[in-house]
């Protein structure tokens, strides 16, 4: 037996299966608000319906149906937090047939009703130990319009701002992104504020495909964003997020979209001595 060929083919099959899961996740995130057919899943995954259900269940820890239900209620919670839409409209927009089925699913997932979530959203955003910012530093984001960008990515489920994200980037940068003008982004695919667990899915992204392996791809951006600038070490980025979520957001008067927050790494520090030169854009999607 040619073991080198065997392991190469085995790795290729594993990579194809992983990319299949990424395609399904990406498709479900875009289409969570309406029924997804068996044919759609088979077309996007290139597996039979039974096989993709099994692969997804054992790769992601939940069924495709449970994943879609979670996307519905989590995106509904974002709308409750960041918009003034009434609860019935939110229920219909995220894919529920009526307010009763929405309320039942929401309470099963979060342990509170949608009405209670709306009434207590300021407490949720601030938390018991955080007060709205009274610092002399006033955040003034730029409102920017960004075209869709195709990116190539790897994902991880972890606590936000965890060292595992650094490990992900180290592995991600082992890929050969030799194309001219590669840009790098972090996509916070789940909203840490409304997850029933603190961890979230984080995507490390490049605007250029790897020369060494085939990474899954998807589109990001496309629309209006509030762009904040974080200067200095990434270790202190929580300070900027605190000023956004516990201060600026209450008086902004803006309506927020349910699409993911995106970080653009405009200037990355190559070593410890250059940390203060690091520049990160935090992009909050707006309606």
Tokens 């520049």, located at residue: 279
Per the DSSP assignment, residues forming a β-bridge with 203 are 155, 187
Query: Would you place residue 15 in the very low, low, confident or very high pLDDT band (cuts 50, 70, 90)?
Result: low
Q: How far apart are CA 199 and CA 106, in angstroms?
A: 19
Percent of the chain surpassing pLDDT 70 = 78
The pLDDT, as a whole number, for residue 5 is: 43
| Beta-strand pair 279-286/217-220 | unpaired
Exposure of 206 in the CB half-sphere (CA atoms within 13 A) = 22
The string of pLDDT tens digits covering residues 230-270 is: 988 888 888 888 777 766 766 677 777 878 889 999 986 55
Residue 133 has pLDDT above 70, yes or no: no
| Beta-strand pair 223-231/261-267 | unpaired
The string of pLDDT tens digits covering residues 164-211 is: 888 999 999 999 998 678 999 999 877 666 655 556 789 999 999 999
What helix, strand, coil percent values describe the chain, rounded to 5?
A: 45, 20, 35
Question: If you average pLDDT over every residue of the chain, what do you get?
Answer: 81
pTM of this structure: 0.72
Query: Which one, of 90, 80, 84, lies nearest residue 118 by Cα?
Result: 80
């Amino acid at each position: 037996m040619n073991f080198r060929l065997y392991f190469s083919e085995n790795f290729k099959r594993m990579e194809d299966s992983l990319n299949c899961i990424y395609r399904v996740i990406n498709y479900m995130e875009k289409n969570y608000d309406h029924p997804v057919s068996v044919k759609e899943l088979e077309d996007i995954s290139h597996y039979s319906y039974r096989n993709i259900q099994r692969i997804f269940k054992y790769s992601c820890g939940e069924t495709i149906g449970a994943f879609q239900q979670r996307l519905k209620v989590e995106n509904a919670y974002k709308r409750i937090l960041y918009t003034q839409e009434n609860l019935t409209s939110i229920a219909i927009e995220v894919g529920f047939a009526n307010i009763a089925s929405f309320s039942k699913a929401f309470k099963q997932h979060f342990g509170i009703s949608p009405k209670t979530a709306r009434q207590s959203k300021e407490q949720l955003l601030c938390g018991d130990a955080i007060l709205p910012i009274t610092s002399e530093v006033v955040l003034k984001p730029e409102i920017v319009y960004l075209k869709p960008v195709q990116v190539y990515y790897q994902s991880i489920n972890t606590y936000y701002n965890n060292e595992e994200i650094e490990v992900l980037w180290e592995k991600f940068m082992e890929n050969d992104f030799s194309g001219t003008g590669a840009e790098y982004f972090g996509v916070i695919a789940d909203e840490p504020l409304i997850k029933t667990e603190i961890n979230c899915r984080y995507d490390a992204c490049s605007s250029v495909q790897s020369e060494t392996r085939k990474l899954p791809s998807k589109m990001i951006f496309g629309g209006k964003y509030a762009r904040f600038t974080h200067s200095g070490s990434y270790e202190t980025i929580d300070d900027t997020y605190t000023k956004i979520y516990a201060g600026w957001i209450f008086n902004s008067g803006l309506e927020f979209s349910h699409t993911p927050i995106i970080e653009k790494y405009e200037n990355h520090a190559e070593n410890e001595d250059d940390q203060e030169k690091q520049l990160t854009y935090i992009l909050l999607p707006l309606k």
